[in-house]
Chain A
Amino acid sequence: MLRLPAFDFQPARSVDHAVALLAAHGNNALPVAGGTDLYANMKLGLFAPQLVIGLRSIAELRTIRFDPQHGLRIGALCSLDAVARDPAVALHYPALARAAAMVGTPEIRNMGTIGGNLCLETRCNYYNQSAEWRKALGYCLKRDGDLCRVAVHSATCKAVNASDTAPVMQAYDARITLVGPLGERNLAVRDFYQNDGARANVKRADEILTEIVLPLQASGMRSTYRKLRLRNAFDFPLVGVAVTLATDAQGACTQARVVLGAVTSAPFEVEAAGSLLRGSHLGEEIAAGAAEEVFKAGKPLENANASLLYRKRMLRVIAQRALEDVSHPLR
């Protein structure tokens, strides 16, 4: 059977302990929370840390608190299942509950954490393969090679951010906290990611993600997440669309964000769609226009389980459906 490469393991007792361990071991250490992504990747030979730092044991990062003044604070180690089932999440951030409930399988949601899902390694079907397979291919830019197999002239890796919750977090304008030896930094989810598949977020190797804060949503805020996949379980999204939209008393749209998942190396906010929606009264025509903007802006590549032409075409369809969701309250 496939086995993990050799490493030492140390469970962290606290955030401080984890940070101290990371500081002591530098790039040779890898923090792991649920393990559903990283251990699988390690079995494929994609990472070989000398030390694995177990984050699961940090109890302080496993709470979800809603505060009507400030919004929702989610400890990074909350399981995706806990997030999906949390009543406050379901009530105030239904798109997050929906996205978390669509990740993988029940077992993966029991193990996988919200922090882990936000730090999900970018994916590509030239990359998520065994060491032998990648050797047969001749490797790629993301790991061991100097050529992007998806876009041969690209200077950067085109692996996609296939997290279900990341586009939702960005659509809610969430912020995250990173803790490292130099202390804490707090940044918007949109600034956390960068569109480089090989370096998909700005978290330094000695930092851990500890908390996600979702700001209080305007009254009348509606939100949704739509996921296209070939099977109704296990699968990562071929296309994900998160939408948040707020309207005033007259029904005019005051805020709108449309964020795509699984299309580029970072969650991809389609600004043109948002600006079209803002100030408008969402109806069929406006929705079609916004979906058209999504279609124009989104440029999937040939690196998932459906052709890029299909995924491109689906951007419009899935965006349209997401916009239909927010035309009416989700529940």
Chain B
Amino acid sequence: MSISPSKMLATLRVNGRDVTLAFSPNATLLEVLREELRLTGTKHGCELGQCGACTVILDGTPVLSCLTLAADAIDRPVETVEGLASDGSLHPVQRAFLELGAAQCGYCTPGFLNAAVHLLENNTEPSEEEIREALAGHLCRCTGYTKIVEAVSLAGRRMRASADE
């Protein structure tokens, strides 16, 4: 049994930057982000697609990085939590999570943020039900989800307000 297959050289586009690196064909995007690129903001709670903690945006869509091969993400834009803030200022969703205390232990937070940003980019005025549906793939054990829903709603209102300006 070959335990560690030989690595391949490839270019990934992560948070708007092209990075060329070597990884094994069986490496998941989660492993490459965390272990090769040291983007440890992307978390893992099960590695089986049962918790949502590892969610990143791939090709503009939230996906589970634990069940995505890095080799299958070549040349497709990947966005992680590290790419959310720009020019040193937090994304409105990050700011709302911070202000309302929607992050407690913070471990599920990056996954929730990615799913929430994706929702608000497509629908700045989601109902509570729409917010819950969009975040249904994420487990949180700390918050009871209440402040998370409030934070996404608040961020949506602020994004609408700033778009109206």
Contacts and interface: CB of A to CB of B under 8 A. Distances in A.
The answer to whether A and B interact is yes
Interface string B1-29: 11111000000000000000000111110
A104 interface: yes
A39 B1 contact: no
Interface stretch (B42-50, B95-103, B147-155): B42-50
A33 to B, nearest CB: 10
Contacts of B64: 36, 107-108, 111
Contact of A9 (B1, B25, B134): B25
B124 interface: no
B49 A36 contact: yes
A234 interface: yes
B67 interface: yes
A52 to B, nearest CB: 7
A108 B47 contact: no
B31 interface: yes
Contact of B137 (A6, A11, A52, A234): A234
Contact of A1 (B5, B47, B61, B133): B47
Contacts of A36: 49, 64, 67
A35 B67 contact: yes
Given A107-B137, A108-B64, A111-B64, A8 B25 contact: yes
Interface residues of A, number: 30
A29 B63 CA distance: 24
User: Chain A interface secondary structure, helix, strand, loop or mixed?
Assistant: loop
B26 A106 contact: no
Interface stretch (B68-76, B77-85, B86-94, B156-164): B68-76
B51 to A, nearest CB: 9
- Chain B interface category by residue count: 35 or more
A2 interface: yes
Interface string A7-35: 11101000000000000000000000001
B136 interface: yes
Contacts, number: 97
B72 A9 contact: yes
A44 B67 CA distance: 13
A3 B47 CA distance: 8
A5 interface: yes
A105 B69 CA distance: 19
A104 B27 CA distance: 24
Contacts of B134: 106
Contact of B69 (A6, A9, A43, A233): A9
- Among A44, A56, A105, find the residue whose CB has the most chain B CB atoms closer than 10 A: A105
A40 B64 CA distance: 11
A111 B63 contact: yes
B55 A107 contact: yes
A154 to B, nearest CB: 28
A57 B59 CA distance: 13
Contacts of B115: 106-107
A149 B61 CA distance: 40
Given A9-B26, A36-B64, A108 B69 contact: no
Contacts of B26: 3-7, 9, 52
Contact of A7 (B5, B48, B50, B61): B5
A198 B138 CA distance: 31
Contact of B31 (A3, A39, A104): A3
Contact of A4 (B2, B28, B50): B28
B136 A110 contact: no
B50 A234 contact: yes
A168 B31 CA distance: 37
Contacts of A111: 63-64, 67-68
A127 to B, nearest CB: 14
Given A6-B1, A7-B26, A39 B67 contact: yes
Contact of B72 (A40, A56, A105, A234): A56
Given A36-B67, A39-B67, A40-B49, 5 more contacts: A1-B31, A6-B2, A11-B71, A35-B68, A108-B49
27 contacts: A1-B44, A2-B48, A3-B26, A3-B31, A4-B26, A4-B27, A6-B3, A6-B4, A6-B5, A6-B26, A7-B25, A9-B26, A36-B67, A39-B49, A39-B67, A39-B69, A52-B25, A54-B71, A56-B72, A104-B137, A105-B136, A106-B133, A106-B136, A106-B137, A107-B52, A111-B67, A232-B136
